[in-house]
Amino acid sequence: MAIIVQKFGGTSVGSVDRIQNVANRVTQEVENGNQVVVVVSAMGKTTDELVRLATELNEKPSKREMDMLLTTGEQITISLLTMALQQKGYDAVSYTGWQAGIETESVHGNARITDIKTANIHSQLEKGNIVVVAGFQGLSPEGNITTLGRGGSDTTAVALAAALGAQKCDIYTDVTGVYTTDPRYVKAARKLKSISYDEMLELANLGAGVLHPRAVEFAKNYHLPLEVRSSLELENGTIVEEEASMEQNLVVRGIAFEDNISRITVAGVKNSLTTLSTIFTTLANYHINVDIIIQSITSAGQNALSFSVKTEDVKQTLEVLERYADRIGYEDVEHENDLAKVSIVGSGMFSNPGVAAEMFEVLANQSIEVKMVSTSEIKVSTVVAYGDMIKAIEALHEAFELSVEETVEV
């Protein structure tokens, strides 16, 4: 019998009705003849409510106690889902992270999984039980409850699937799969039948938000196929796997985008070897996330330096730059808000050097000014005015023929 791991997020288990719906999806997989392990998140708004209580009692709650508090959310869901499965006449048992053998680093709030002892789960599966595991949580070597940070339940599901030797891991969410771009913005957006780990990683990192990058990394390392699919609709989702071979000829697979981007330009920077590291180390110390960085050296030996940050971080960025002005050494700082990042992603790009040029041409034809550019082996990111964002996505979606149905089936 094959082992299938299913993961359901907070929205999918947000109410009694939703939990019953999840129970149906789970037992369906049992009826298909599989051994099923289910990983769940906390119910919808539970976490928000707990965080509210915590901040009323402590301005800056300790991370250990936040982990202790928030992990109750998944513990509630596992017991309720198990009850729903038992009500349907199926044998099921719930496990917290530590009961499931999920071991992590001694870090609170953002621990990495170090090992999974699967003996308990295997023995329950052998007894014919559905095993319902709390996502997002684990146990440190000192016996403390830890959490895996953002996207933690995805990571739990994928890590468990790898450790258990599962056939696949299904990530149930509130969308029906991975799209060529966000269908809420672009009508022509089309659901992909499959996508490679690397492409998914770029899309995930670029804010597509369907699947957490850590989970994708994990799946890639263990060659574990994922399926992103809807918890409410029955249709097939998108398979994330080693190589989406049947679509090799499609150079661009998807378009990701993100608004509320700002550009900071530091002019007249002294061209010393350490200046760059000084600036970005200082910003990192203040937890300011810098994305695209562009440096141009003038003949006079001075740098003009531009970088993009989230608009919400602009105020603090400017303050930090001013506070450390002497140490950094520059003449002037400017910033520009109301920008957006638009990126094309596709593993075929690696062997097609003309893709970036094609992208710029498409944008130029729409009179869209490209303010910043950054490239990797399988993506090209541009920063444009927010007002041009949708126009850019639509034009790129059409130019790279993303709405055309994939023709080759395996």
Which stretches of the chain bind a copy of itself, using CB under 8 A? Answer: 16, 19-20, 50, 53-54, 56-59, 61-62, 64-66, 68-69, 71-72, 75-76, 78-80, 82-84, 86-87, 93-94, 96, 99, 120, 143-145
Give the residue with the Cβ less far from a copy of itself, 83 or 290.
Answer: 83
Beta bridge partners of 132: 38, 94
Q: Which amino acid is at 346?
A: G
Give the residue with the Cβ less far from a copy of itself, 91 or 115.
Answer: 91
Give the residue with the Cβ less far from a copy of itself, 98 or 257.
Answer: 98
CA angle 213, 218, 219 (to 5 degrees): 95
184 is in an annotated binding site: yes
Give the residue with the Cβ less far from a copy of itself, 64 or 112.
Answer: 64
Nearest distance, CB of residue 59 and a copy of itself, angstroms: 7
72 is in an annotated binding site: no
Of 254, 258, 266, 356, nearest in space to 305 by CA: 266
Q: How far apart are CA 288 and CA 281, in angstroms?
A: 10
Instruction: Tell me if 210 sits within 8 A of 188, measured CB to CB.
Output: no
Nearest distance, CB of residue 58 and a copy of itself, angstroms: 4
Give the residue with the Cβ less far from a copy of itself, 137 or 382.
Answer: 137
Nearest distance, CB of residue 90 and a copy of itself, angstroms: 12
Nearest distance, CB of residue 127 and a copy of itself, angstroms: 13
60 is in an annotated binding site: no
Nearest distance, CB of residue 123 and a copy of itself, angstroms: 11
Of 283, 289, 287, 369, nearest in space to 333 by CA: 283
What are the E-state strand segments in 148-234?
A: 168-173, 194-196, 226-230
291 is in an annotated binding site: no
174 is in an annotated binding site: yes
10 is in an annotated binding site: yes
Nearest distance, CB of residue 126 and a copy of itself, angstroms: 15
7 is in an annotated binding site: yes
Q: How far apart are CA 314 and CA 286, in angstroms?
A: 12
173 is in an annotated binding site: yes
Give the end-to-end CA distance of the chain in Å, rounded to a whole number.
24
Nearest distance, CB of residue 86 and a copy of itself, angstroms: 6
Give the residue with the Cβ less far from a copy of itself, 51 or 318.
Answer: 51
Q: Which residue is associated with the tokens 């661009």?
A: 252
Q: How far apart are CA 44 and CA 73, in angstroms?
A: 9
Give the residue with the Cβ less far from a copy of itself, 83 or 318.
Answer: 83
Question: Which residues have CB under 8 Å from 385's CB, separation 6+?
Answer: 338, 339, 340, 368, 369, 371
- Count the Cβ atoms, other than its own, within 10 Å of residue 311: 16
Query: Within a 13 Å sphere around the CA of 177, how many CA atoms are in the beta-carbon half?
Result: 19
Query: Which residues are annotated binding-site positions for substrate?
Result: 47, 74
Query: Which residues are annotated binding-site positions?
Result: 7-10, 47, 74, 173-174, 179, 184
Query: Which residues are annotated binding-site positions for ATP?
Result: 7-10, 173-174, 179, 184
